[in-house]
Structure 1
Amino acid sequence: MSNLYAQRRQQLLSKLNQGTAIFRSAPMAVMHNDVEYAFRQDSDFFYLTGFNEPEAVAVLAPHHDEHQFILFVRPKDLDREIWTGYRTGVEAAQERYGADIAYSIEELDEKLPQYLKGGDRIYYHLGRDEAFNSRILRHWRKQLALYPKRGTGPIALEDPSPLLHPLRLVKTPEELELMRKAADIAVDAHNLARDMARPGRYEYEVQAEMERLFTLHGGSPAYPSIVASGGNACILHYVENTRQMEEGDLLLIDAGCSYQYYNSDITRTFPISGKFSPEQKIIYELVLEAQKQAISKIAPGIPYNEHHDTAVRVIVEGLLDLGLLSGDPEELIEAEQYKPFYMHKTGHWLGLDVHDVGVYQHGEDNWHILQPGNVLTVEPGIYISPYIKPASREVDEVTIEQPPVDPKWHGIGVRIEDDVLVTENGCEILTAGVPKSVDAMER
């Protein structure tokens, strides 16, 4: 893998020209009092280095005569390592991670200026660590103060994301291998959940068995698992998972596995009693058709928004047929009057982050064009909360009133989500191992 990280750095170095890029490791997050969460490296930092420790800084300086990849890391400290685990240390960091040189993180302020002064700009993402942001800004101000005396140095501060994130957006074969593994583990967990869910069990029992399987295969939850029965399925990010499931409930499970930093993201909805009610089946079939048609729009050369617009149209026309919406479908879509039932987009990029990096459009009406190696989720849904308030909006100065919702639909929440890879000739569903037909959802 070290060659892979070197290739990634070289790709970015070629885009920096005379700039110096600075990347900061993720901070340690506090769970409560003095107890910390398990460390998870910043995705950009990990993508470029593979280094998985906190309190580290990576510098890329293509203009420097000797050192183009510089690492600042924690020094070896036996006393601290007894308490908090092994450290790579300065010497091993240089050797193992391919740095031209490595320093102790304590030397950052002293050593960093030599890698800034030869460049014409600093690439740094102003993140959530305000103290470190201020530290970089101080270095920049010092360089600006020296500029009149020497006529060189960084006079601009830019975010490296527009250079780095397009690289992350196209997955390599090595990345796809890890994503397939993350998907396969999650597939097994979802299939297990469908087999074990029964009236009388608690949502957290299903969550526990799924996450046990993640761990058993070397993974972990990619995000807080959603195990939402009954009306809880109408809450998009329901994570309490405390309700006891009842006869007649639908169970919506949105759970993915993280494997060696790469993620899967799957949602399935099924009747825990084994059979859909007539209303549940109608809504489920509508969402499934919306997803199928959306996936059919995923291929190289297709604008990113095509699959979302397709899903919206299927859902709007279906809701019209059911009497849950009224009016002209074009006007309803323009006014977004479907949003009380379908309030989110049809997917997102997937990779090192669950909501992975990469722009969706380049200015108004200029959508990203799908290309081989892009991975995205496709996840339409319909949510009919008992508290739903149908929208009434103006279109061309005409108010379109929407009908009240018949209580027979209340509490039905359905989402179906798969992970889809754009291939040379179309697309591949990485999570196809979880069934989703009506027959497969029933028992």
Structure 2
Amino acid sequence: MFSQDTYRARRQKLTEKMGDGLVLILGNADSSMNYKDNVYHFRQDSNFLYFFGLDIQNLAGLIDLNSGEEVLFGDDFTIDDIIWMGPQASMQEQAAKVGVKKTMPFKHLFNYVGDAVKQGRKIHFTPPYRGENKLMLYELTGIPASQQQEQASLELIKAIVDLRSVKEAGEIAELKKAAAAGYEMHVAAMKMAMPGVWEQTIAGTIEGISLANGNPPSFPIILSQNGETLHNHDHSNLLQEGKLMLVDAGAQTSMYYASDFTRTSPVGGKFSQQQREVYEVVLAANNQATGLAKPGVSYLSVHLEVAKVIVSGLKELGLMKGDVDTAVQAGAHALFMPHGLGHMMGLDVHDMEDLGQIYVGYDDEIRPSNQFGTASLRLGRKLQPGFVITNEPGIYFIPALMDKWKTEKINTDFINFDRLEAYRNFGGIRLEDDLLITENGCELLGERIPITPDEVEATMK
């Protein structure tokens, strides 16, 4: 945990950004897997962690914006709990760790919020994403689950996004720990990428590395020799000589701060000429984004500049043609990179997207595109010092998409469809780093995982 002053300051800043009413932040409860007492690994709500810091089930935090009163609702552990779990701190002791003076049993939350509802006071809550909390909100406020998303407090959402977007020094230190664990995971995966190895063996090994560094991976591991499927969670294949293994994976620290890296390795340890040529284009795109990312620059503009690097590189390989700028304006690059350049990262690997990605990645000035490919860009707004973002360009040869565009004659002025046949079984390449936006530019979070073709081959030896 951070210091109690950190959590007090965060709640104070939140109060200063809000108007009147009550801010209600629900923690998470256990979720059962296959019967009640066999539960998934507990993951606390990130907003609750940010403002109240306690990684314990069945809690709720409340801030009265008018009086300034802060209350932590939760129950002390019983003797039965202690028998199974060992000695536990009291709720008062837990609250003291995060600078909250008042605690109440959880059942009192219903009277507290119910009275406020009767008085016509505003109840500010964030959009719930778990069934347990949707039911809880219905009991507390009477708002049906089907209406909770639209009735969540936009005022609270925008205040939280404003606060959590800029990372504090302690958060950056945690993110660097997550990056160090991510480095271990990816280097281990590279060294294991040999013919005949089961994908699940590698996925399981690197998941264990994350667990050994504090928590499960920051998201389900993407690992496949069929990397043209962008989020391929199928780990059932035996690796084949000549294929490319794409691994998109990150770690979480014990405080849930995330990393998110992608590397692509040649099965057997040696890139073919064709693979190396495409790889170099993706690497150039990645480096271009790192060079452009700085305060005041929109990530939408960086995304588009990266697209130009990809078009230029593919033109040199004979796969694209025509004017580069015009090709990007037409969205022709999206045949090869149908996703965005990156997203915010922090306590969540897609930071704060439970609040609504439109509020996290965009603002009143910069709005999402509706063009295929660029429409999937999750972060478009101008960068600020303290933002932590991902930089993840890629090139993929997706047979179904290639066939669709060729049949429907989409962007035929920019794509040499006949030349694409030699790449039909290529797969995909993605290279992802995590960036901290600084006062004058950006820096990589942690030591850079081997990324040049020579570095990757040397690591695999």
TM range (shorter): 0.7 to 0.9
The corresponding residue for 1:135 is 139
1:236 aligns with 2:251: no
2:332 is paired with a residue whose SS is coil
User: Which residue identity is paired with 1:46?
Assistant: L
Larger Rg: 1
Aligned mate of 1:63, from 50, 66, 76 = 66
The corresponding residue for 1:295 is 290
1:98 aligns with 2:99: yes
Matches within 5 A, 1:112-151: 112-113=113-114, 121-128=122-129, 129-138=133-142
User: Which residue identity is paired with 1:368?
Assistant: R
Shift of 1:224: 1.2
* CA offset digits 1:117-155 (Å, max 9, x no partner): 889532112313332232343399xxxxxxxxxxxxxxx
**CA–CA separation in structure 2 for the residues paired with 1:372 and 1:209:** 35
Structure that is richer in helix per residue: 2
Q: CA RMSD in A?
A: 2.6
The corresponding residue for 2:312 is 317
The corresponding residue for 1:387 is 400
The corresponding residue for 1:180 is 176
Contact 2:117 2:141 in 1 (8 A): no
Aligned mate of 2:50, from 41, 47, 50 = 47
Contact 2:167 2:386 in 1 (8 A): yes
1:417 aligns with 2:440: no
Q: Which has the higher contact order (CA 8 A, sep 6+)?
A: 2
Shift of 1:114: 5.6
Q: How many residues matched?
A: 422
Could you state the TM-score of these two structures normalised by the residue count of structure 2? 0.84
Q: Percent identity?
A: 32
- In terms of mean alpha carbon deviation, does 290-299 or 409-418 score higher? 409-418
1:251 is paired with a residue whose SS is strand
- In terms of mean alpha carbon deviation, does 170-179 or 72-81 score higher? 72-81
* CA offset digits 1:241-270 (Å, max 9, x no partner): 121111112111111110021000111112
2:104 is paired with a residue whose SS is strand
Matches within 5 A, 1:40-439: 40-64=43-67, 68-83=69-84, 88-113=89-114, 121-128=122-129, 129-138=133-142, 158-159=153-154, 160-229=156-225, 232-259=226-253, 260-357=255-352, 359-363=360-364, 365=366, 368-389=381-402, 391=405, 400=413, 402=415, 403-404=417-418, 405-439=420-454
1:442 is paired with a residue whose SS is helix
**CA–CA separation in structure 1 for the residues paired with 2:53 and 2:134:** 24
Distance verdict in 2 for CA 1:432–1:313, change over 3 Å? farther
User: Which residue identity is paired with 1:422?
Assistant: I
**CA–CA separation in structure 2 for the residues paired with 1:378 and 1:94:** 38
Distance verdict in 2 for CA 1:112–1:355, change over 3 Å? same
Shift of 1:363: 3.1
**CA–CA separation in structure 2 for the residues paired with 1:121 and 1:69:** 16
1:184 is paired with a residue whose SS is helix
**CA–CA separation in structure 2 for the residues paired with 1:122 and 1:191:** 48
**CA–CA separation in structure 2 for the residues paired with 1:137 and 1:119:** 11
**CA–CA separation in structure 1 for the residues paired with 2:41 and 2:213:** 18
**CA–CA separation in structure 2 for the residues paired with 1:408 and 1:240:** 22
2:333 is paired with a residue whose SS is coil
Gaps of 5+ in 1: 141-155
Could you state the TM-score of these two structures normalised by the residue count of structure 1? 0.87
Matches within 5 A, 1:13-28: 13-28=15-30
Structure that is richer in strand per residue: 1
* CA offset digits 1:186-216 (Å, max 9, x no partner): 1122122222321121112222322222233
Distance verdict in 2 for CA 1:323–1:133, change over 3 Å? farther
Contact 2:48 2:61 in 1 (8 A): yes
User: Which residue identity is paired with 1:102?
Assistant: T
User: Which residue identity is paired with 1:227?
Assistant: L
Shift of 1:59: 0.6
1:131 is paired with a residue whose SS is helix
Contact 1:254 1:268 in 2 (8 A): yes
2:402 is paired with a residue whose SS is coil
Contact 1:63 1:118 in 2 (8 A): no
Contact 1:203 1:227 in 2 (8 A): yes
